[in-house]
Amino acid sequence: SAVISQKPSRDICQRGTSLTIQCQVDSQVTMMFWYRQQPGQSLTLIATANQGSEATYESGFVIDKFPISRPNLTFSTLTVSNMSPEDSSIYLCSVATGADDQPQHFGDGTRLSIL
Amino acid sequence: QKEVEQDPGPLSVPEGAIVSLNCTYSNSAFQYFMWYRQYSRKGPELLMYTYSSGNKEDGRFTAQVDKSSKYISLFIRDSQPSDSATYLCAMINDYKLSFGAGTTVTVRA
């Protein structure tokens, strides 16, 4: 399976600031995704990062709050903008490999705390 | 009603016991079924992946899918303390993953 690296692994940020999270894969992949895992909860899909076009966002998530870039087939960024304490979560990148672009594999995530 | 239901536990078993985990789902469009294991402070790690009804075995792990009942299971035989983790079921419709709540498992030495 692909090796997925996320940076930073954790951060503590001030309210109102923004943070950009990077996801690097060691091979070209078609599909990359961003998830949020709130404390003690399961994973929720934020958006699909599309190479060469705008990301596809899930209900409840908007581009102004979570802008995403996908400049090539091995890299994507997620920015969490104008952060509030409610944004304190783990943010995870996943990639789809194999036939039919399945299954998905995950990075170790970025643990974000907002003060 | 959530699309995927999973009892969050926690579940505590003695070493060597069989761990039984399960999920139910409501969306008959789900095509692929997965089990992930997540250790504390790590991302989910894919354990089992299947797309048809029936059993799939990999070492100490057996995944069962019953599409007619909309029910999937994961069995861990000869459980070890290193199996202590949160186990998440997940299902795909198109390319979108829907996760269960996760079951926290502790295997006591």
CB A66 within 8 A of CB A80: yes
Model confidence over A79-103: pLDDT tens digits? 999 999 999 999 999 998 766 667 8
* pLDDT(A21) > 90: yes
Please tell me which of the candidates A33, A48, A108 has its beta carbon nearest to residue B43: A108
Question: Hey, are the CB atoms on B43 and A111 less than 8 Å from each other?
Answer: no
pLDDT at A99: 64
Q: Place A2 in a pLDDT band, splitting at 50, 70 and 90.
A: confident
Q: Which helix (H) or strand (E) is A111 found in, with range?
A: strand A110-114
Q: What does pLDDT average to over chain B?
A: 93
- Write down the pLDDT at residue A101: 66
Share of chain B above pLDDT 70, in %: 100
Q: Does A92 touch chain B (CB under 8 A)?
A: yes
Neighboring chain B residues of A58 at a CB cutoff of 8 Å: 96
- Strand runs labelled E in B3-95: 4-6, 11-14, 19-25, 32-38, 45-50, 54-58, 61-66, 71-76, 85-93
